[in-house]
Structure 1
Amino acid sequence: MLKKTQDFSLKDKEGKKYSLKNFTSDFIVLYFYPKDDTPGCTIEAQEFTQDLDKFEGLNTIIIGISGGNKETKSKFCNKYNLKVLLLSDPDFLISKKYGVYGEKSFLGKKFMGIKRTTFILDKNRDIIKTYENVKPAGHSEEVLEFIKSKD
């Protein structure tokens, strides 16, 4: 798993490009999720959206990354009124750099995809915490408590 962050340039639901170097927040929650508009990914995004004001109060930005494109991101955000920043990694290049793309299995079938993982970055953009094999329900609260302990 990655120890030092890799910068990136990825697009959001409107086609706007974002890079890590553009953010000035004290913390960044960089969460990788398998796919837009699937049950676990929806729970995770909804909980981060629900807690967004609390994160912003701690000068923390939430960034979700998965495959897809601006259309899938837009539909996902609109369908569930999501307020977190979701970025597209259509070729999984950034997911691979962060070590979160690989073989998975579901119902006995093996396939390649993003492994649900969250990185907490500090102001220097060093990774200070990694959550692997994330369970979506309650994850936002878990991350929030960790950031409160560092603030």
Structure 2
Amino acid sequence: MSANGRLSVGDKAPAFTLPDSTGKPVSLSDYAGRKVIVYFYPAAMTPGCTKQACDFRDNLAELNDEGIDVIGVSPDKPEKLAKFVERDQLTFPLLSDPEKEVLAAWGAFGEKKLYGKIVNGVIRSTFLVNEDGTIGAAQYNVRATGHVAKLRRDLSI
């Protein structure tokens, strides 16, 4: 991890186990031997986060065909995530991190600019974790709209 608390390519991905939208624990280690995109977003059912989640949903088959799974993480409680999954027919796990410990460990929580002000909050971030558990790509302050297309270009998918 760099001095600013952010992960870089080659770093070991911080381990986690968090509840999904049904309350079932999901661990990063469940994906050992596979590539997985782990993305962090501020709040379920908000316009930007909905666009981003639906974008991942709409590209999931192509990502899966490349051997890549997707996990979303936010500070929302499982009950809110369940509504989000049902409303938008999301087909990948959304995990709950209300204590923001995993968000912080991945450098996805901290100071950010929001409408010109510096605030503490979730930094919209996306990571590719390689089969060996190392970071293959680390992107911070990503845009919700068009992000998956950019990610696919960056990863040549």
TM-score (norm 2): 0.88
| SS of structure 2 residue aligned to 1:51 | helix
Q: CA deviation at 1:24?
A: 4.0
State how far apart, in whole Å, the 2-side matches of 1:138 and 1:25 are.
28
Structure 1 gaps of 5+ residues are: none
What is the one-letter code of the residue matched to 2:120?
Answer: M
Displacement over 4 Å in runs of 4+? none
SS at match of 2:85: helix
RMSD: 1.5
Q: Could you tell me which amino acid in structure 1 is paired with residue 43 of structure 2?
A: K
Residue 144 of structure 2 aligns with an amino acid whose one-letter code is P
Shift of 1:108: 4.2
Question: Which one is further off, 16-25 or 104-113?
Answer: 104-113
The 5 A counterparts of 1:54-133 are 54-133=62-141
| Aligned AA (1:114) | V
Give the SS at the match of 2:141: coil
Compared CA separation, residues 142 and 25, structure 1 to 2 (3 A): farther
* Aligned 8 A contact 1:121 1:129 in 2: yes
Q: Percent identity?
A: 32
CA shift at 1:84, angstroms?
2.1
2:95 alignment partner, SS class: strand
Q: Is the 8 A contact 1:25 1:61 kept in 2?
A: no
Give the equivalent residue in structure 2 for 1:44. 52
| Alignment of 1:16 onto 2:33 | no
Displacement after TM superposition at 1:4 (Å): 1.9
8 A contact 2:32–2:133 mirrored in 1: no
Measured after TM superposition, the shift of residue 138 of structure 1 is 1.5
The whole-number CA distance in structure 2 between the counterparts of 1:35 and 1:100 is: 13
Consecutive unaligned residues of structure 2, counting only runs of 5 or more, are: 1-5
